[in-house]
Amino acid sequence: MTLPARGFDLLKDVDVRLSVELGRTEMKLKDVLALGEESVVMLDRLTDELLDVMVNGTLIARGEIVAENGRFGLRIVELATGGEESK
């Protein structure tokens, strides 16, 4: 099914949840409860790996962190192809 270009105008105001994932780890609950202000949690990614950009839990792109005017941002480096899953 192909929608005409103006058909997408109906969807432009739909709210979606965009999230950027730095990495993942598995921990026991007792270790999570022991976290404090100076705690460090090691993730499964290296510092030079791209971050997953997801919309409603679906991987749509990968990107990298940028800093501009004292704020963090995200530069999209590659768009996901249909069959990809997040790491």
Look at residue 45 and tell me if it is in a domain. yes
The residue that leads in pLDDT, 83 or 7, is 7
Residue-range definition of the domain harbouring residue 51: 15-79
Q: Is residue 85 part of a domain?
A: no
Contact 28, 35 (CB under 8 A): no
On whether residue 71 sits in a domain, the answer given is yes
41 within 8 A of 27, measured Cβ to Cβ? yes
Structural domain count, the chain: 1
pLDDT tens track for 9-61: 888 889 999 999 999 999 999 999 999 999 999 999 998 999 999 999 999 99
Domain-embedded: residue 10: no
Question: Which token pair is 36?
Answer: 């404090």
